[in-house]
Amino acid sequence: MTTEKFALVTGAGSGIGKSIALALMQNGYSVALAGRRKEPLEATAREGGAHGARSLVVPTDVSHPDEVNQLFGKIKEQFGRLDLLFNNAGIFARSVSLEELDYEQWKAAVDINLTGAFLCTQGAFRLMKEQQPRGGRIINNGSISAHAPRPHAVSYTATKHAITGLTKATSLDGRKYGIACGQIDIGNAASEMTEAMSSGVLQADGSTRPEPLMDVKHVADAVLYMASLPLDANVQFMTVMATNMPYIGRG
């Protein structure tokens, strides 16, 4: 029985995805790095390689089924199995009121944030249920927006609420294959996507105010804990957030 652990992180070229990928590589995982841009993925691989970690760079648009199939084909070829999928790839649409959001921007968010996570979950299921030892773990990157919306964020909010449904369905359908699925809901982790929050972000009362951020390391530590459990135990949902961000009582 192999003791080597293999993971896939989507959106691994920057932000939370990069932090999680590096944390996994520093803790004994070989990691497949997926994302739309090759250069940032290679930078993540180089940084992880400094710790002697093995990685596989696979530029992938997770909203395209053919590219996702190719991604999992390369994982099977190079790694032979998959123990952990971190579904992380996601985008924000333009911050506008619901009635002003372009269809193309709505569709792009749905395609990447939701359909991309579904396609990668499908690929993981197909690999995990056939491999020996059978099974694995899937962790979905939800958001505080999976519970409470921000103003002018309908596509992000809707897709993140849908991720919660995907998490529950994955948990249920995965039982017979030894596949566990959980969700981490992250609030205001410092990254490229949240830089603007420190200078000011629109609030539900119409004001614009800065919000506190937390070190993304705390998210990485939380994911490492979720991943460390045996497959007969699961963190179904976890919320990790900057303590004083406007979530409890938001709006």
Region of poorest pLDDT, from 12-21, 86-95, 193-202 = 193-202
Question: Quick check: 194 pLDDT over 70?
Answer: no
Is residue 247 assigned to a domain? Answer: no
Q: Is there a domain that residue 191 lies in?
A: yes
204 occurs within a structural domain? yes
Residue 249 inside a domain? The answer is no
* Vertex 4 angle, CA 136 and 122, to 5°: 30
Q: Which residues pair with 30 in a beta bridge?
A: 6
State pLDDT tens for residues 138-192. 999 999 988 988 888 899 999 999 999 999 999 999 999 999 999 999 988 887 6
- Sheet bearing 5-10, strands edge to edge: 55-59, 29-35, 5-10, 84-87, 136-141, 179-187, 237-241
What is the pLDDT, as a whole number, of residue 25? 96
pLDDT at position 199 is: 74
Please give the mean pLDDT across all residues of the chain.
Answer: 93
Q: Does 247 participate in catalysis according to the annotation?
A: no
In a domain, residue 136? The reply is yes
Q: Rounded to whole angstroms, how far apart are CA atoms 71 and 10? A: 10
Q: Give residue 250's pLDDT.
A: 61
Domain count, the chain: 1
pTM of the model: 0.93
* Assigned domain for 45 exists: yes
Structural domain contains residue 219 = yes
Q: What is the mean pLDDT of residues 12-25?
A: 96
209-241 pLDDT, tens digit per residue, is 888 888 999 999 999 999 999 999 999 999 999
Higher pLDDT, 51 or 85: 85
Q: Is residue 198 pLDDT above 60, yes or no?
A: yes
Q: Is residue 117 part of a domain?
A: yes
CB contact at 8 A, 34 and 78: no
Catalytic residue among 156, 177, 225, 247: 156
Domain enclosing residue 149, as ranges? 5-241
Q: What is the pLDDT of residues 122-143, one digit of tens each?
A: 999 999 999 999 999 999 999 9
**CATH assignment of the domain containing 116:** 3.40.50.720
